[in-house]
Amino acid sequence: MVYIISIILVGIGVYGLMTQKNLFKHLISLSIIDTAVNIFIVATGYVNGGKAPIYTKNFPSFAIGRFVDPLPQALVLTAIVIGVGTLAVGASLLVRVKEKHSSIDVENMKGVGE
């Protein structure tokens, strides 16, 4: 189910990218795709009944099936940060696009030849 939700989210992101005229919405769509992929990654590591992979007093010892797969979580941590970086650069680019072309709407932008 989580898989399907994340895939549908990817579809929504792609739909947004294809239909929206506002460039900031493109950035948001991209973010949605990123998030969807992240959800998907975490989901691939889930074990039914598994706990968060942290050794505490209550779960002091290792056993197969007790913890969920920690690797996808570590990967997602990286992927989130990358998404943030992309978003920051994209947003600042849009600030300048707005300054230069007086709009961030694809149809109203000025001076975008070729």
Partner 1 sequence: MISLLIAIPLLLAFVSVMWKRLAKPLFFLAAVTNMTVLLASWFPNSVEIHVMGSWKPPFGINLVFDNASFYAALVVNFFFFLVSLMPNLVESYGVSLMLLMAAANGFVLTGDLFNSFVFMEIMTITAVTVASRRENFYNAFKYLILGGIAGSIYLLATIFAYTATGSLNMAHVSMATISASSLVAITTLYAIGLGVEAKLFPLNGWVSGVYGGNDLAPVILGTSVSFAALYMVGRLFGTVFHGSGAGVLYTLALITIIIGEVAALRQQNLLKAFAYSSVAQAGVVVAMISKGTSRAMGLAYFHLTNDAVAKFVIFLVAGFLVYNYKNLNGVFKKHKVLGASFSMATFSLVGFPLFAGFQSKLRIIMELFSMKDYLFPAVMLLATLIEVGYVVRWNVKLWFEEETDEKADNPIVAGTLALILSLLLVAVFIKPEIFLGGAMKMGNALADTKDYIHGVLSVVKGGM
Partner 2 sequence: MALSTLLISLLVTSVVIYFISKVSWRAGAILNFLIGVFLISYVFALHIGVTSNLGTLFGQKLQLTWTHASYYFSAVSLLVIVSVMLFAIKWLDSQKYPAAFNMFILMMTAGSLGVFMAADLITLYIFWEIAVLSSMLIVPMGKKESRKAAVIYAVMSASGTYMYLYGAFLAFQRYGTLNISEIARHMVSDPSTGIKAAIFLLLASAGIAKSGIFPLHTWLRIAHGNAPDAFSAVLSGQLVKLGSYVLMITVAAIPSLRVFGNIPFYSGIPATNYFLIALGATSIIIGTLMAIKQDDMKMLIAFSSVANGGYILIGIGTMDPMGFEGGVLHVFNHAIAAAVIFMAFASVVYRTHTKKISELGGLIHKMPITFLAYLFAIISLAGIPPMSGFISKWMIYQALVRKGMFITAFIAFFGSIGSFLYVFRPLAGVFLGQLPKKYKDVKEVPPVMWIPMMTLVVISLVIGIWPFPVLQPIEGMRMDYGIAPTMRIADSSHWLIKGFSGSWNPVLVFNLFIIGFVIAYILYTMFPRPKKVDLLAPHKEEGAPINIYTGGEYIYTPELYHYNTKFYAGFERMYEKHPSWEKVLEMLAKFFHDLGEWVHGWFFRPSPSAYTFWVSLTILIVFWVRW
Partner 3 sequence: MRRFYAILVAAGLVYMLFMFLGTIVPYGKADVADRVSAHFLAKDVNSISPTKWVEGDKQVPHSERVYGRKGFEDGSANVVTSIVVNYRSFDTLGEVTVLFASAVGVGLILGGTRRMKYGRKPNFILRVSTGILLPLIILFGIYIFVHGHLTPGGGFPGGTIIAAAVLLLYLSNEEFSLNMIVSKSLEGSMGSLYVIFGLIGLAAGGAFLFNFLPNGVVGSLFSAGVVPLVYMTIGLKVGSELSGVVAEIHEEREG
Q: Which positions lie near partner 3, rule CB under 8 A?
A: 1-4, 7-8, 10-12, 14-15, 18-19, 43-48, 52-57, 59-65, 67-71, 73-75, 77-78, 80-82, 84-86, 88-89, 91-93, 95-96
Residues 73 and 45: beta-carbon distance below 8 Å: yes
Q: Estimate to the nearest angstrom the gap between the alpha carbon of 27 and the chain centroid.
A: 11
C-alpha 71/C-alpha 75 separation (Å) is 6
Please identify which residue in 12, 28, 67, 101 interacts with partner 1, judged by CB under 8 A: 101
Could you tell me which stretch among 34-42, 46-54, 57-65 binds partner 1 (CB under 8 A)?
A: 34-42
Residues 68 and 53: beta-carbon distance below 8 Å: yes
Number of C-beta neighbours around residue 32 at 10 A: 19
Binding site for partner 2 (CB under 8 A): 14, 17-21, 23, 26, 106, 112, 114
